Amino acid sequence: MSIVLSMPVRLCSILLGICLLVMSSSGLAAPKNANQPIRIITNDWTSQIVLAHIAGGVFEHLGYRVEYSSSSVAEQWGALALGFEHVQPEVWEGTMSDMFTRMVEVGRLVDAGSHAAVTREDWWYPDYVEELCPGLPDWQALNHCSALFSEDGSNTGKYHAGPWEKPEAARIRALGMNFRAETVGDANQLWQVLEQASKVKRPIVLFNWTPNWVEARYQGKFVEFPVHEPACETDPAWGINPKFHYDCGNPSQGWLKKAVWSGMVERWPCAFQTFTNFSFDNLSLAQLAARVDVDGLNHKAAAVEWLNKHESLWQSWAGESCSNDEALR
């Protein structure tokens, strides 16, 4: 199954137009039956996986069947567009707004609303770096200290980038920075780099985000790049580099949204409406991540613990349409 599906799904991520063609001509569209399981995407960072299990727990309590499927951020768009997957509980503005907005605009995804959380994803360093590099968190100060972050004796600093959709190399180029981005395979590798460097106070700069468990354990700051505006990503003339996009940071007050397959609205109205009310704030997300990454619970256990403690809250999310949803008869 996954081999058959991965081709169009991958095409979809790369070329939205082809994806829509494949979809309308191939008969691969998802089945119409309301009793199909709701398929929830798990990505590769902790809070998202816990929220996926919380959403699944809520849907199950309402009477739905649920299945989980792990997907990279890059592949999730096609899967959601085609109805192979249905629910993604954490879409972050800093890394995912481009694809999300495009897919919503062409009607392939539905925006199921925002969480209460305000988010930021960007270059980040532990506080001890400030003593070695005066002027931080300003990006130009960081650039002057690039040699501190070099691993090969050159002046070119190394930035530990995350494996999510952000054109880090394009930003380095647009800002003329003496850095090179090296992408880690998964979030755990970022935390290993952070732990090892912190032990010996070695200067590092890495991708991080908030809310996250890291803020409960490490003091640090985001690098302040030129303030993000949408035009920075669409108009080369914007900003300090007249020729290139991405001469700015990520949004510092970003949104956190929920995305669903467009067919969900009709097929599972109760689940859809409930999911539009599904909302987490910064503190709860950071705490959920810490239950796994600091305390060692598995994702599902952290979700079950949360569901048990907050029953009246998630019960209150269920909407009016829950009384006449065919899948629940």
Structure tokens at 17: 């137009």
User: Which CB atom, from 13 or from 95, has the smaller least distance to ligand TMO?
Assistant: 95
The residues pairing with 109 across neighbouring beta strands, listed in sequence order, are 261
User: Which CB atom, from 5 or from 170, has the smaller least distance to ligand TMO?
Assistant: 170
Please state the closest distance from residue 181 (CB atom) to ligand TMO, in A: 15
Please state the closest distance from residue 281 (CB atom) to ligand TMO, in A: 15
Confirm if 60 and 37 have CB atoms less than 8 A apart. no
SS3 per residue for 106-173: CCCEEEEEECCCCEEEEEEEECCHHHHCCCCCEHHHHHHCHHHHCCCCCCCEEEEECCCCCCHHHHHH
- Answer positive or negative: Cα dihedral of 302, 308, 310, 314: positive
Residues that bind ligand TMO (CB under 6 A): 45, 92, 95, 121, 162, 164, 209
Please state the closest distance from residue 163 (CB atom) to ligand TMO, in A: 9
Please state the closest distance from residue 328 (CB atom) to ligand TMO, in A: 32
User: Which CB atom, from 45 or from 159, has the smaller least distance to ligand TMO?
Assistant: 45
User: Which CB atom, from 159 or from 164, has the smaller least distance to ligand TMO?
Assistant: 164
Which residues neighbour 121 within 8 Å (Cβ) at sequence distance 6 or greater? 92, 94, 95, 164, 166, 207, 208, 209, 250, 254
Which residues neighbour 16 within 8 Å (Cβ) at sequence distance 6 or greater? 81, 102, 103, 106, 108
Please state the closest distance from residue 41 (CB atom) to ligand TMO, in A: 13
User: Which CB atom, from 43 or from 273, has the smaller least distance to ligand TMO?
Assistant: 43
User: Which CB atom, from 178 or from 279, has the smaller least distance to ligand TMO?
Assistant: 279
Please state the closest distance from residue 209 (CB atom) to ligand TMO, in A: 4
